[in-house]
Amino acid sequence: MSTIVITEFMTQEAVDGLARDFHVIYEPDLFERPGDLAKLVPDADGLIVRNQTQVTADLLEAAPKLRVIGRLGVGLDNLDMAACEARNIPVFPATGANDASVAEYVIGAAFHLVRRVFTATPRIINGEWPRRDFFSEELQGRCLGLIGFGSIARVVARKALGLDVEILAFDPHIPADDAVWQSVTRVTELTDLLKRSDIVSLHVPRLPSTENLIDSAAIAHMKPDAILINAARGGIVDEEALADALKDGRLGGAALDVLAIEPPTKASVAKFEGLDNLILTPHIAGPTVQSDVRVSGVTADNVRRVLSSTG
């Protein structure tokens, strides 16, 4: 019987389904115990991880039987993909399973930062009635720029179009004649998108080419009241440059669901202290009750398919 090691949270229903046909070792805190993980992987035929398990070349070397890796999510930056390819170990992200939840986060963050009404609560509780302080603009009629136009960005675009928002998208990897461009305006230069957008949302992986993609130079192209949203990957935004721009009034606001250091240290986020035009959340745009069911189910099916077909 094939063995599957699961190192992070997966819905119990999906775990139980796999356990009916495979020997399953499910320890959702195993990612915190790399020594214990190293002892378990030599017998593993399948490995299921989220984004905190570091699947290194050394870990793969210790897993001679490993035939498949399931990723409970879509990012692959915690996996040594070159080492996986060298071993011919297929990696299956749960593509599409959390698109809706991330898209809702982006739209919700845009609403929050444009209207900023939710910050009124403590002042009203304190007996104030600060109506003029919360006089804001509308989201409709704004221009939303999407950097990267993969599956999540396309769901964001579809939802935003229903709010009468103009959509620009930049993605040099998608041909100009692709049908996905029919409902949005394709932009061929990143600086053009940054200059025209009221809201900029990032939808690219973290790669050497995208690290600090939004740096001080990029921010200089943006409107001084523009909003930046990153629910993609930490490290794509130069956090020092962003904090400085927010403090100096060179950006209207930002929402970061991902950070360069996760989990952050007190020192790594000290730069953001005192900013009331910033939303920080702990990498929770993708996980919801509903998306966890979808992500777990898709991942279980992917791993099951490989192990069942290879014996």
Residues designated catalytic: 233, 262, 283
Q: How many CA atoms lie within 13 A of 14 on its CB side?
A: 24
Closest CA to 146 of 172, 169, 130, 164: 169
Q: Do 93 and 74 meet the contact criterion of CB atoms below 8 Å apart?
A: yes
| DSSP secondary structure, 182-193, as one string | GGSEE-S-HHHH
Distance CA 54, CA 123 (A): 44
Kindly give the residue spans of alpha helices, DSSP state H, lying in the chain. 12-19, 34-40, 57-61, 81-86, 99-115, 121-125, 151-161, 190-196, 216-221, 239-248, 289-309
Give the separation between CA 143 and CA 130, rounded to whole angstroms.
28
In whole angstroms, what is the distance from residue 196 CA to residue 189 CA?
11
User: Are the C-beta atoms of residues 230 and 258 closer than 8 Å to each other?
Assistant: yes
DSSP class of residue 262 equals S
Residue 201 pairs in a beta bridge with 146, 229
Give CA–CA dist 239/155, Å, rounded. Answer: 26
Cα–Cα distance, 149 to 182 (Å, whole number): 12
The first and second tokens of residue 303, run together, are 């791993």
